Amino acid sequence: MALDVWSEFKEQVRVQTDIVSLIGETRNVIPKHGGREYVALCPFHDDHNPSMTINPERQTYRCWVCDAGGDCFSYVMKLEGLDFRQALEQLAQRAGLEMPQSPSGQSRAKGLGRVEQLEVLEWACRQFHQCLLQHPEASVAREYLYDRGFCEEVWSDFRLGFHPGPWEWLRKKAEGKYSLELMEAARLISPNASGQGYNEHCRNRVTFPICNERGQVIAFGGRVLPGSDDEKFGKYQNSRESALFNKSRQLYGIEHASQAMRERGHVIVVEGYTDCIALHQQGIANVVATLGTALTAQHVDLIRRFCQEVVLVFDGDQAGQAAAQRALPILLSFDLELKLFSLPDGLDPPEFLERHGLQEFQKLLQNASDAWEFKLKHLYEKHGIATSHARDQIIKEMLELLAVAPGISGTPRENYLLNRLAHRVGLKGSQEQVLYSQLRELRRKGPRIAHNPSGPPAGIRSDANSSPPGANSGVNYEDQVNHLLRERLDRVESLERDLLEICIMMPECLTLLRERGLLEKIQHAVLGKLLQVCDRLSRHNHFAGAESLLSSLENPELKKLVLGLVSRSEARGITEKLQEETEFPEGNPCPVLLKQVIEQLEWEHKESHHRNSTRHVVVPTSEPAPVDDRLRQLLQDAAQFHQQRVTRKTASN
């Protein structure tokens, strides 16, 4: 797709997406100031008083607490963990618009994109579900579900299904409807080892549709029937990962649990599909399950959209205990209320509920230990607490846990946990500092216990944009944007930020910057990039301020910066200040404020040039030396600069 066609389509989607209506699909949106603004509880932090402001005129949102902000694209990207291409496809589908063909991706040109994959997965879900309900060969699957205590109402709620067994069963049903290439892209089938045919996933298994938060089927889990020959391939299987499905980011049952998570303020995380369904059947709706992995940072990021408390429930067997230990480094990295408990006697949740009932489960839930106490209790049981050696071992293993917890180093949370550890093991006063020294030494040596490979809680990292979807240079703008939104910058950064601010609020100022050659001299990479985007839009008569700049950007961090600068400008009354005009000596008219910023920035450039030049003026020998033309020019430039500096100081006094 040509970039101009691409830009036009992005703008078409943006124009046909009302951001008030979009946010209103998941939040209660309240009008203010006669409908000129709306407010809502922010979904990106634990918000109790509406702190998200929605501007219907600009079609933007911004949270004044967590600083999230952007347009319809960045909202969907952040809310659902999508990249720009996926957010665009979803919003285009919502607006009833068909994605143009893109030569940059062969699979897209063949009609194998996100929308088509979601369609075939939804179709497959219906086939599996109807088979479970009606197919004679599914009687053994129905008996299995009855034996597990799952009623038919739950079958329908969770859209459980069954694949009856023949390798070509689903492909035959898809003939004339969906291509083999699309079914393979959606991970419903895969080439067999001989390369002469295909295997169908979930063959001879009870199927569990795995959905995203919007309830769209993105993958399947399959549970082999007891006694089946296919049990040698594993009791449970998930679809292979795809552009739609990543098991380290997805939680089973999230589409059923999200509303209850918001209402109750916490989530219960269990280990498998049947654990999750069993608790839902008992009326506990705020339950999700991991998909064969330990809890990851991405899982916790997903959870934090809906609530701020996590209770992890692990099976009482050895594998469950090991899973709890693997999750701890991730859990400690987040400023959330985190609790854990394991079930007694090696039971899983369905078995415990059948044997002891819901009331006993609720008691365990209420008495769950927080993550820190869970680990300490485990170590007390392992080492005892009677000797100094036991105390040293407990300290060592607790510090090893902190050493591999991603993203916690140097944070207030780390200080709190170290102080808490010192109190629990009886260290006082200066003895506490020993813990900090030992922790630093552990980090220097590197991790000694297993930790989650998914890395620290991630910010949003993607390419700046103005490129087709899918392009990604891996640039991380998060730290740079946060830096630029602080009030205190160095002199040049502050002036360059002011230039961008002024251009956003008064786009016609770009012409003057272009004529004076300032756009090529911007030193800060992010500010320079945004000014270049503004300039490109301006040259094509497409730049009208913040709205058109936001529309041209894909990176959500850059959108946040633009909105932050707009808010800063409005608070400082920049638009009003720009109404007062003057002119440069050559006669070019210019707002007074812009002239001041330009002159100060040009002076900073001159000072920088002077500092660099004077390095070459000093003659490196005591012997007389001829003054060549280059050195003579440097000396003249230095004298001229000093005269300008004297004049500048005199004028300012």
Q: Measured between alpha carbons, how far is 118 from 115 in angstroms, rounded to an integer?
A: 5
- pLDDT score of 461 more than 50: no
Whether 88 and 114 map to the same domain: the answer is no
Alpha-carbon distance values, 83 to 76, 302, 469, 471 (Å): 9, 15, 8, 10
CATH code for the domain of 133: 3.90.980.10
Task: Categorize the per-residue pLDDT at 479 as very low, low, confident or very high, splitting at 50, 70 and 90.
Answer: confident
Among residues 547, 571, 597, the one where a domain terminates is 597
pLDDT band (50, 70, 90) for residue 508: confident
Q: Worst-scoring range by mean pLDDT, 118-127, 281-290, 293-302, 329-338?
A: 329-338
pLDDT of residue 520: 87
CA 396 → CA 329, 390, 399, 430, 445, distances in Å? 15, 10, 5, 18, 14
Task: Identify the CA nearest to 376 among candidates 361, 362, 390.
Answer: 390
Structure tokens at 445: 């040596």
CA distance 480 to 490: 14
Which range of 58-62, 190-194, 292-296 scores highest in mean pLDDT? It is 58-62
Contact 604, 492 (CB under 8 A): yes
Tokens of 419: 């102080």
Is the same domain home to 96 and 127?
no
Q: Does the pLDDT of residue 469 top 60, yes or no? A: no
The answer as to whether 615 is a domain residue is no
The answer to whether residues 499 and 420 belong to one domain is: no
Whether 564 is in a domain gets the answer yes
Q: Indicate whether 191 and 95 sit together in one domain.
A: no
Q: Do 296 and 454 touch, CB atoms closer than 8 A?
A: yes
Residues 6+ apart with CB under 8 A from 436: 418
Average pLDDT over residues 501-516: 88
Which tens digit of pLDDT belongs to each residue from 523-576?
888 898 899 999 888 887 778 788 878 878 888 888 889 988 988 888 888 888
pLDDT at residue number 643: 57
Q: Pick the more confident residue, 434 or 120.
A: 120
Share of the chain above pLDDT 90, in %: 23
380 plus 419 within the same structural domain: yes
Same domain, 83 and 113: no
**So what's the pLDDT on residue 107?**
42
pLDDT at position 331 is 67
Mean pLDDT score, 127-155: 93
Mean pLDDT of the chain: 80
- pLDDT tops 50 at residue 584: yes
Amino acid at 528: G
- With cut-offs at 50, 70 and 90, classify the pLDDT of residue 267: very high
Residue 342 domain flag: yes
Report the pLDDT averaged over residues 295-323: 76
pTM (predicted TM-score): 0.58
Q: Which domain holds residue 550?
A: 478-597
Between 270 and 585, the higher pLDDT residue? 270
pLDDT of residue 509: 87
pLDDT at 257: 93
Give the model's pLDDT for residue 218: 94
pLDDT classification of 333: cutoffs 50, 70, 90: low
pLDDT at 636: 59
- Say yes or no: 173 and 80 in one domain: no
Q: What is the pLDDT of residue 318?
A: 65
Report the pLDDT averaged over residues 213-233.
Answer: 85
Could you tell me if 276 and 388 lie in one domain? Answer: yes
Do the domain assignments include residue 68?
Answer: yes
Contact 221, 198 (CB under 8 A): no
Positive or negative torsion for Cα 403, 409, 413, 419: positive
pLDDT at 109 over 50: no
311, 339 contact by CB (below 8 A): yes
Does 506 fall in a domain? Answer: yes
- Of the residues 445, 468, 495, the one at which a domain ends: 445
Q: What is the pLDDT of residues 239-263, one digit of tens each?
A: 988 878 888 889 999 999 988 998 8
Cα–Cα dist 221/272, whole Å: 10
- Please give the radius of gyration of the chain, using alpha carbons only, rounded to the nearest integer: 31
pLDDT of residue 613: 56
Condensed to tens digits (0 to 9), the pLDDT of residues 3-37 reads 456 777 888 888 889 999 999 888 889 988 777 88
In a domain, 643, yes or no: no
CB 89 within 8 A of CB 214: no
233 pLDDT exceeds 80? no
Strands (E), 153-304: 161-162, 189-191, 198-200, 205-211, 217-224, 236-238, 267-270, 287-289
* Domain harbouring 377, CATH code: 3.40.1360.10
Give 122's pLDDT tier (boundaries 50, 70, 90): very high
Shared domain for 287 and 433, answered yes or no, is: yes
Residue with tokens 């756009």: 519
Task: List all residues 6 or more positions away from 650 whose beta carbon is below 8 Å from its beta carbon.
Answer: none
Query: Count of alpha carbons within 13 Å of 386, Cβ hemisphere only?
Result: 3
Please give the average per-residue pLDDT across 291-320, as a whole number: 78
Pair 268, 284 in one domain: yes
Q: What is the total count of domains within the chain?
A: 4
Residue after which a domain boundary falls, among 77, 104, 131: 104
User: If you average pLDDT over residues 275-294, what whole number do you get?
Assistant: 91
Shared domain check, 486 and 366: no
Q: Residue 230 pLDDT more than 80?
A: no
**pLDDT value of residue 633:** 58
- Domain-located, residue 583: yes
Q: Residue 647's pLDDT is what?
A: 53
Residues 184 and 128 in one domain: yes
How much is the average pLDDT of 153-167?
91
Asked if the model's pLDDT at residue 304 lies above 60, the reply is yes
The residues with which 237 forms a beta bridge, in sequence order, are 222
**3 state SS of 252:** strand
- Quick one: pLDDT at residue 289? 95
The band of 372, judged by pLDDT with boundaries at 50, 70 and 90, is: confident
642 lies in a domain?
no
